[in-house]
Structure 1
Amino acid sequence: MSTRVTTAIASALIGLGLALSGCSAPPSTPTLTVFAAASMKTTFTTLGQKFEAAHPGVKVAFNFAGAQTLSDQIIQGASADVFASANEANMKPVTDAALNASEVKLYASNQLEIAVPPSNPAKISSFADLGGKDVKLVICAVAVPCGSATQKVVAATGVVLHPVSEEQAVTDVLAKVVAGEADAGLVYRTDVIAAGSKVLGVPFPESAKAINRNTIVTLKKAPQPALAQQFVDLVMSVEGQKVLADAGFGAAG
């Protein structure tokens, strides 16, 4: 091959390389990662859909679990933009470690309610009824918000419970009641509402002694800090608060 031909081919290849390098790769889809307590699954899924509709091209990815589990994951270095806890206690380790970027905001409140199968086989009508030794009761582990609230009611009433299972997330408690594996479960009022006809709710006045206040922050190492703040703004907005109220959540204060 002549030197002239070789030079021409080399020039063509260089030109092609420059042309290709000038073509930018398609932009990746920004993903906002939200760690939220299991009790927030229904409402936050709705809010996530609203957020995506208002931010074309943005995807909201949720990690729903017990607030204690999520708090531990964040402290251990898990990547997230927003953390929404079902109480104040499980937010504290995150703020104590200075992992929050924004100040803690209270965005809702929630309280316990007894969930029983629609037929209510154990004839549960009060919190005291849960103390029966023949009652197959499922509660949350004390480390998670619903479990902490349960123990506050126990301490205030003196009722001794004999749970057959202690779960790491309130949704797991509800699932056992829905599946017929329990006569009763202590969950949140919002869980009973979300379950519809699958369970029967039994309110009890003693639940007022253990109201959980839900908290939310943006995180210091958030990959999407601007989107994180915008999501928190949505939760705190009139629109966001209506979604929460419609699901049965109380006011934050």
Structure 2
Amino acid sequence: MAGPHRRGSDSSRRNRSRRRRALRAVVGLSVVALLVPLAACGSDEEEGATTLRVLAAASLTDALEEAGAVYEREHEGTELTFSFAGSQELAAQIRQGAPADVVATADTTTMAGLRAQTGPATVIAKNRLTIVVAPGNPERVRGLDDLGRDDLKVVLAAPEVPAGRYAAEVLQKRGVEVHPVSEEPNVRAVLGKVGLGEADAGVVYVTDAASNDKVATVPVPEESNAVAVYPAAVLNESEHAAAARDFIAWLRAAPGQRVLRAAGFQAP
């Protein structure tokens, strides 16, 4: 009886030993499999792969998306991600701790309010206002004075939005009192209302009007117009401050200016 029992014990031990060796082999392969992607991530960092997060005024949407594509082609290893909104919304996001590397607003007032969160600001472009109406101008809007008509549905950007402040400045200078049917959170929303026929007229930037074929324009005379200034700055919390400064410098230099000018913006 004792003999068979000993042989069974030896056989069990050999089986357990084989299972342990197999388990160690599987664990070893699993560790290798886990380390390979980590090594790949490390090599990407060593190669300098960088993602810059840019918060920008809504009126910069088309121009910066185009500029971003050009910049990425010229700067291999750098990717740009954009978030567009009214400048006042961007400021609120930054104060609430939204992660970003660059902020570009449509006025110096909003940027000045972010002085504690950013480095020095650089003006990258300027803009002007225009009146937008439905194609064919069915309501016969001829200029700023007509925006005060009772029979006209006018939409403006809200007073806290740069485009709204600029419009208020222009209308006050002209002595025109407007009662808008709505006040929008950004200039693109104003453009959309007129383009969809929900308003007869609105005041937007020249660049916004140029990007939409669903509206026509009525010029604002140069002597009555306002100059919209677009500053950009690196956020203090940026993880890629040097790359962020390079991008702003590129926007200010000839390559970036070509894109911005093509979109209708004026030189800084």
TM-score normalised over the length of structure 2: 0.85
Moved more, 197-206 or 14-23: 14-23
Instruction: Name which of 42, 45, 52 aligns with 1:32.
Output: 52
Q: CA deviation at 1:154?
A: 2.2
Task: Verify the 8 A CA contact 2:144 2:171 in the aligned structure 1.
Answer: no
Task: Verify the 8 A CA contact 1:112 1:207 in the aligned structure 2.
Answer: no
Stretches of 4+ aligned residues off by more than 6 angstroms:
none
Moved more, 232-241 or 134-143: 232-241
Task: Verify the 8 A CA contact 2:129 2:225 in the aligned structure 1.
Answer: no
Q: CA deviation at 1:199?
A: 1.3
Q: CA deviation at 1:50?
A: 1.2
Task: Verify the 8 A CA contact 1:111 1:207 in the aligned structure 2.
Answer: no
Task: Verify the 8 A CA contact 1:127 1:206 in the aligned structure 2.
Answer: no
**How many residues matched?**
248
Q: Which residue of 2 aligns with 1:191?
A: 208
Alignment deviations for residues 111-145 of structure 1 (CA, whole Å, 9 cap, x no partner): 11001111212101110111101111010001011
Instruction: Name which of 36, 45, 53 aligns with 1:23.
Output: 36
User: How much is the aligned-residue C-alpha RMSD, in angstroms?
Assistant: 2.1
Q: Which residue of 1 aligns with 2:4?
A: none
Instruction: Name which of 184, 202, 212 aligns with 2:228.
Output: 212
Structure 1 distance, partners of 2:31, 2:133, is 68
The question of 1:106 aligning with 2:123 is answered yes
Q: Secondary structure at the match of 2:179?
A: coil
Structure 2 distance, partners of 1:47, 1:240, is 6
Structure 1 distance, partners of 2:86, 2:34, is 47
The question of 1:203 aligning with 2:219 is answered yes
Q: Alpha carbons of 1:116 and 1:204: their partners in 2 closer, same or farther (altered >3 Å)?
A: same
Structure 2 distance, partners of 1:74, 1:50, is 26
Alignment deviations for residues 60-102 of structure 1 (CA, whole Å, 9 cap, x no partner): 211111001001110111111110001101111111xx211x3
% identical aligned pairs: 38
Q: Alpha carbons of 1:207 and 1:84: their partners in 2 closer, same or farther (altered >3 Å)?
A: farther
Instruction: Name which of 191, 198, 222 aligns with 2:238.
Output: 222
Aligned ranges 1:1-253 → 2 under 5 Å: 1-2=13-14, 5=18, 8-9=21-22, 12=25, 15-16=28-29, 19-20=32-33, 22-25=35-38, 26-27=40-41, 30-95=50-115, 98-100=116-118, 102-195=119-212, 197-205=213-221, 208-252=224-268
Question: What residue ranges of structure 2 are gaps of 5+ in the alignment?
Answer: 1-12
Larger radius of gyration: 2
Higher helix share: 2
Q: CA deviation at 1:211?
A: 1.0
Task: Verify the 8 A CA contact 2:173 2:224 in the aligned structure 1.
Answer: no
Task: Verify the 8 A CA contact 2:104 2:230 in the aligned structure 1.
Answer: yes
Question: What residue ranges of structure 1 are gaps of 5+ in the alignment?
Answer: none
TM-score normalised over the length of structure 1: 0.89
Q: Alpha carbons of 1:14 and 1:120: their partners in 2 closer, same or farther (altered >3 Å)?
A: closer
